[in-house]
Amino acid sequence: MSDIALEVDDIKTYIYSNRRCNKAIDGVSFSIRRGKTLCIVGESGCGKSITASSIMQLLPALSRIEGGSITYHSDAGEIRIDKLPRNGARMRAIRGSEIAMIFQDPMTALNPVYTVGFQIAENLKYHTKMTARAIRDRCVALLRHMGIPLPEQRVREYPHSLSGGMRQRAMIAMAMACNPKILIADEPTTALDVTIQAQIFELMNRLKAEHGTAILLITHDMGVVAELADDVAVMYMGKIVEAGTVDDILRRPRHPYTRALLSSIPVLGRGKNQSIRPIRGSTPDPYNRPPGCQFAPRCDFATEACQRMPDETFVAPTHRVLCWNHDRVAASG
Amino acid sequence: MTGSPPVADPILTLRDVKTHFPVRKGVFKTTAGHVKAVDGVDLDVFRGEVLGLVGESGCGKTTLGKSILQLVRPTAGQITFHDGAGDDVDLQDLTNADLVPYRKKLQIVFQDPYSSLNPAFTIFGSLEDPLIKYGVRPRAERRRIVGDLLEAVNLRRDHMDHYPHEFSGGQRQRIGIARALAIEPDLIVCDEPVSALDVSVQAQVLQLLMELKAERGLTYIFITHDLSVTEYLCDRIAVMYLGRIVELADADDLYANTLHPYTQALLSAIPVADLDKKTDRIVLQGDVPSPVNPPSGCPFHPRCRFATELCKDKVPPLRPFGRNGHLAACHRVEEVMAAGIHSDRAADG
């Protein structure tokens, strides 16, 4: 059995509205390894959430995967997810049991009119043949495993009586109910406080170690990346501009955008004299994109060549970058 | 950005400020209790400094900011504004009409740039309001001032005839800053000014705020939950927990020499984008207690590793430690110092 849980190869997902086409993802490739965490980093609108919904086949109605492939390496063999009908029986069997997802805002992702226990049990009812009693016990066990105090009581409560951190734990319990092979977490802690965020991270690391779950974590925070990631992919305007191991990206960034992201935020413990450099301008309109490299208009290293889309270059076996001038970036120290 | 704040020239003095909100229940709307959003805060804000107010959601930092501006009237305590010319005014005693001249001195930048600008007004419409209120009559004069303001925040003069929806989040936040600057205030309360913005834009707004401070000699109260931003920007930092200040120190001192166990946990919980700087994380158990019914004694004791019987019974006062005016509200500072943030594993055995 290979080490890779999910392989995404050159997928293109376009969203259509008002006769216009937003190339939300335009040729993205990565693979998620078993028992490892891949972080996708990027700003809002760069296509990171659409990447997650493409894998889950939860895209908005007027959108389509136009090319490329998503291959899920299940125990029973390879499955081409992009070829499955969105709401077909096989996709429904995979979604929730083999590949599960945690959403950003636990308040809107949980249904306010059902108890927490009911919502966790739903997954088990659908995907397993367990008895009602076994399901009830499993729900309590899951909540206890997530570190929720008094789980016997909490399963009967509604989402509104749980705090933000507990709701997010309930969401993770829901996602973990069927022991998925792949867990997709879309900004799971953005709505939470730092001390609660630390609790959730510890939980995710434990799940990864205990169950060998492959995790795809979507975030905009480089701090989270340093904390959790094994592999990193940096996205900008629908493309992965740089990808590699966490060491490659944080210690030897080769793309100007990665560098700019790293130096645009103050880092705790570096005091007042650190230099932060804002990135000039703002992200371009997706319907009116620059011709070549999408970052060129904001880039300090831009040259004539950047009017054309650069080719992907491997600067190390694990480290690829999408930039014409990556040598100059590296030389600039 | 460096340099200690000027000595003993307070612009604002807070003494035992309390802001409680009644919780009403039942058919007769009887008062069932109070949300003690701010529960006894003593604080001096010095002229020309950046004071950071940090804490988790629900700790009362925004309510404290609004109480200072009298946007929410405090229930008890004293908020004194010193205008620098020997005139001291207790803001909480003034009627709304009497407050008008002081509102000119104290302004606020709100968190969410999407909801703080009226979508039906042009930018000029939003920005001229404070000017009309404070008597800039000729329209041409107002247009000139608004144009200058927009240029001061790195926008174009002709942007004033556009509507808010035409701007990005970062641009809107700069308009919010321009509005706060319109009547040349002395002190600006910045309530999470960058937390709704994308990371690449945050730095633009932070730099703008610091440039404006240097140019115009402003004082900021900077409310945020992001401790890495406060470390970079602020001269002094006050850490709040459940309506009280638990630690107050110079920025460098707070990070180098953390005294309160809550501050330690907060600092250790922040993910740092630096592979060489991994702190040992102190994971707090449980959630922040409800401010309606806070724990007895020290509000932090149910989650604290150092808690003793004394902490359950008695609220620790904010006392000075060391030289630089470092204040902490904890009974067990000596033990906390002995444990330290980095030798955490040893302390846990």
Q: Point out the residue among A166, A202, A224 whose CB comes nearest to the CB of B283.
A: A202
CA dihedral A133, A137, A143, A144 (to 10 degrees): 170
Residue type, A260: A
d(CA A107, CA A96): 19
* Those residues with Cβ within 8 angstroms of residue A100's Cβ, 6 or more apart along the chain or in another chain: A174, A175, A176, A177, A178, A180, A182, A183, A184
The pLDDT, as a whole number, for residue A92 is: 92
Does the pLDDT at position B200 exceed 70? yes
Contact flag B267-A44 (C-beta cutoff 8 Å) = no
Assign B147 to helix, strand or coil: helix
**pLDDT confidence of residue A320:** 95
Tell me: pLDDT of B77 over 80. Answer: yes
Residue of B18, B67, B49, B55 lying closest to B239 (CA atoms): B55
> Which domains does chain B possess?
48-74+99-105+186-348 (3.40.50.300), 114-184 (no CATH)
Global pTM? 0.84
Q: Which helix (H) or strand (E) holds B80?
A: strand B76-82
- Which chain A residues touch B251 with a CB distance below 8 Å? 272
Nearest-CA distance B152 → chain A (Å): 17
Residue type, A32: I
* A275 touches B: beta carbon within 8 Å: no
To test the contact with chain A by mutation, choose from B232, B300, B342 the residue with the greatest count of A C-beta atoms within 10 A, namely B232
**Cα nearest neighbour of B281 on chain A:** A198
To the nearest whole Å, the CA of A11 is away from the closest chain B CA by 26
**pLDDT exceeds 50 at position B349:** no
Q: Tell me the nearest-neighbour CA distance from B95 into chain A, angstroms.
A: 37
Contact status, residue B268 vs residue B281, Cβ threshold 8 Å: yes
Exposed/middle/buried for B138, CB within 10 Å: 0-12, 13-18, 19+? exposed
Tell me the ipTM for this assembly.
Answer: 0.79
Using a CB-CB distance cutoff of 8 angstroms, which residues of chain A are in contact with residue B1?
A: 272
For residue A314, what are the contacts with CB-CB under 8 A and spacing of at least 6?
A: A320
Q: What digits encode the pLDDT tens for the residues B240-264?
A: 999 999 999 998 888 888 899 999 8
**Res B278 pLDDT > 80:** no
Query: Is it the case that residue B26 has pLDDT exceeding 90?
Result: no
Phi and psi at A102, nearest 5°, equal: -110, 130
Q: For A260, which residue in chain B has the nearest alpha carbon?
A: B200
Residues forming a β-bridge with A12? A26, A67
The pLDDT score that the predictor gives to residue B269 is 86
Residues of B with CB under 8 A from a CB of A: 1-2, 56-57, 168, 170-171, 198-204, 206-207, 225, 227-229, 231-233, 251-252, 255, 265-275, 277, 281, 283-284, 286-288
Closest residue of A to B169, CA-based? A282
CB contact under 8 A, A223 and B284: no
Closest-CA residue of chain B to A259: B200
Q: What are phi and psi of B129, to 5 degrees?
A: -55, -55
What is the structure's pLDDT at A197?
86
pLDDT higher than 90, residue B219: yes
Which one of B198, B232, B269 has the shortest CB-CB distance to A274? B232
Q: Which residues of B touch A272 (CB under 8 A)?
A: 1-2, 231-232, 251-252
Looking at chain A from residue 129 to 168, which residues have their Cβ under 8 Å from any Cβ of chain B?
149, 163, 165-166
Q: Is the pLDDT of residue B341 over 70?
A: no
Dist. CA B97–CA B93, nearest whole Å: 11
CA-nearest residue to B231 within chain A is A271
How confident is the model at residue B124, as a pLDDT? 94
Least Cα separation, residue B50 to chain A (angstroms): 13
Chain A residues with CB inside 8 Å of B222's CB?
A: none
Q: What is the pLDDT of residue B198?
A: 82
CB contact under 8 A, A221 and B286: no
For the residues B132-149, what does the mean pLDDT come to? 91
Burial of A292: CB neighbours in 10 Å, binned 0-12, 13-18, 19+: middle
**pLDDT bucket at B347, cuts 50 / 70 / 90:** very low
Residues in chain A with pLDDT values less than 50: none
pLDDT for the residue B348: 37
Residues of B in contact with A163 (CB under 8 A): 287
Which residues in chain B have their CB less than 8 angstroms from residue A187's CB?
none
For residue B343, pLDDT beyond 50: no
Is the Cα torsion angle A301, A305, A311, A314 positive or negative in sign?
negative
Nearest-CA distance from B145 to chain A in Å?
A: 25
- Examine the pLDDT at B4 and tell me if it is beyond 60: no
Q: Which of A180-194, B148-162, B266-280 has the lowest mean pLDDT?
A: B266-280
Instruction: In whole angstroms, give the CA distance from residue B335 to residue B329.
Output: 14
